[in-house]
């Protein structure tokens, strides 16, 4: 069993206390923290397997897990390797590092297989931001075989990162031994949240403060800036996913955040067009639609519900 983090002993949602369990599972020498939440519906509609974004952790999605479970789905979610309470890979636990992005995708596929008896079909693979890229990579590489895929602001293109010079610069410094060093000019290597007025994630103060409280009270959850290796692998993964978009042979929905300052919504739309899947945008939303104001979250779930109904899930 794995622990649940409760900043300042805040009450846990009822869906977590009554319908969810936390586990550690081992894969490839890494201990991964996983949570499964079960619907109370007698005939579950299926299962959602969810991958969070960079720096994120299971507890951040408690509210959304409740939304999915209330709709009749079992939900499986993990802390990606190197963050949350899953094992870190470097002596400095704050460094954002991964040896290969495919490791993330293979971890995702592994937990789907490991918990298969608890996951009624259809299986819907979901991810946000980095997690969206991981989910798409898992499907397109053949590691995972869900029945559909839904992504929120998936990392298919980052503002101010994907330039030819940046790619060559990062590749060169990886080669000469800088792979485990921070990319320069990052402000937040300590893993603590920025002030609300400077954040790029949400315009909802209450949800921002709830998320920030985890980092403030639990140093083990903190993750700092990205290393050269992580960034090089992220560029590789985005390139792979975009290049292979036409190979996506299952129903899909991409939901972009209209005012996203991190992931370029145009890259989300371009991927959806190449993959011939649905694309919707939430106008005005910042990067974290699941943490946004109700007016934005509701638009996400309207698109989510309409897609499921259309596909018969």
Strands 46-51 and 73-78, by their bridges, are parallel
pLDDT above 90: residue 294: yes
Tens digit of each residue's pLDDT (9 = 90 or more) over 79-124: 999 999 999 999 999 999 999 999 999 999 999 999 999 999 999 9
Closest listed residue to residue 107, CA positions, set 206, 172, 31: 31
Using the 8-state DSSP alphabet, how is residue 14 labeled?
Answer: H
How much is the pLDDT for 77?
Answer: 98
Q: 162: pLDDT confidence band, cut at 50, 70 and 90?
A: low
How much is the pLDDT for 174?
Answer: 74
**Range 57-63 average pLDDT:** 98
Residue 2 lies in a domain: no
Residue 37 lies in a domain: yes
Residue 128 lies in a domain: yes
Tens digit of each residue's pLDDT (9 = 90 or more) over 24-54: 999 999 999 999 999 999 999 999 999 999 9
Residue 144 lies in a domain: yes
Tens digit of each residue's pLDDT (9 = 90 or more) over 172-226: 777 777 788 888 777 666 899 999 999 999 999 999 999 999 999 999 999 999 9
Residue 204 lies in a domain: yes
Residue 85 lies in a domain: yes
DSSP assignment of 104-147: HHHHHHHHHHHTGGG-PSSEEEEEETHHHHHHHHHHHTTS---S
Q: 289: pLDDT confidence band, cut at 50, 70 and 90?
A: very high
How much is the pLDDT for 164?
Answer: 64
Closest listed residue to residue 85, CA positions, set 119, 112, 58: 58
Domain count, the chain: 1
Contact criterion met (CB below 8 Å) for 78 and 108: yes
Q: Which residue has the tokens 């636990």?
A: 93
How much is the pLDDT for 42?
Answer: 93
Q: How distant, in Å, are the alpha carbons of 31, 278, 281 from that of 310?
A: 38, 11, 18
Q: 170: pLDDT confidence band, cut at 50, 70 and 90?
A: confident
Domain CATH number, residue 112: 3.40.50.1820
How much is the pLDDT for 189?
Answer: 63
Domain containing 284 equals 7-311
How much is the pLDDT for 296?
Answer: 98
In this predicted structure, which of 53-62, 225-234, 263-272, 303-312 has the lowest mean pLDDT?
225-234
Coil, helix or strand at residue 155: coil
- The per-residue b/e assignment along 155-182, b for 16 or more CB within 10 angstroms, e otherwise, is bbbbeebbeeeebeebeebbeeebbbeb
Residue 74 lies in a domain: yes
Residue 217 lies in a domain: yes
Tens digit of each residue's pLDDT (9 = 90 or more) over 234-281: 999 999 999 999 999 999 999 999 999 999 999 999 999 999 999 999
Enter the tokens of residue 14. 């009822």
């Amino acid at each position: 069993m794995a622990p649940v983090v409760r900043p300042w002993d805040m009450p846990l949602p009822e869906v977590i206390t009554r319908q969810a369990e936390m586990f550690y599972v081992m894969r490839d020498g890494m201990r991964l923290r996983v949570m499964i939440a079960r619907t109370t519906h007698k005939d579950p509609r299926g299962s959602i397997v969810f991958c969070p974004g960079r720096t994120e952790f299971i507890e951040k999605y408690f509210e959304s897990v409740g939304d999915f479970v209330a709709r009749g789905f079992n939900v499986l979610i993990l802390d990606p390797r190197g963050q949350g309470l899953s094992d870190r890979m470097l002596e400095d636990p704050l460094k954002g590092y991964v040896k290969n992005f495919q490791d993330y995708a293979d971890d995702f596929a592994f937990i789907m297989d490991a918990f298969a008896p608890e996951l009624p079909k259809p299986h819907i693979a979901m991810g946000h931001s980095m997690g969206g890229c991981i989910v798409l990579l898992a499907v397109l590489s053949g590691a995972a075989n869900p029945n559909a895929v839904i992504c929120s602001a998936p990392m298919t293109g980052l503002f101010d990162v994907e330039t030819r010079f940046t790619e060559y610069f990062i590749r060169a410094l990886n080669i000469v031994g800088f792979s485990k060093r921070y990319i320069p000019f990052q402000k937040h290597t300590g893993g603590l949240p920025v002030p609300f007025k400077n954040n790029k994630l949400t315009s909802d103060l209450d949800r921002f403060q709830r998320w920030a409280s985890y980092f403030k009270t639990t140093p083990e959850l903190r993750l700092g800036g990205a290393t050269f290796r992580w960034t090089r692998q992220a560029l590789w993964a985005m390139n792979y996913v975009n290049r292979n978009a036409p190979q996506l042979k299952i129903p899909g929905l991409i939901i972009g955040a209209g005012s996203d300052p991190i992931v370029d919504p145009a890259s989300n739309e371009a991927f959806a067009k190449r993959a011939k899947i649905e694309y919707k945008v939430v106008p005005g939303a910042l990067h974290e639609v699941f943490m946004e104001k109700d007016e934005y979250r509701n638009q996400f779930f309207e698109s989510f519900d309409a897609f499921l109904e259309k596909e018969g899930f």
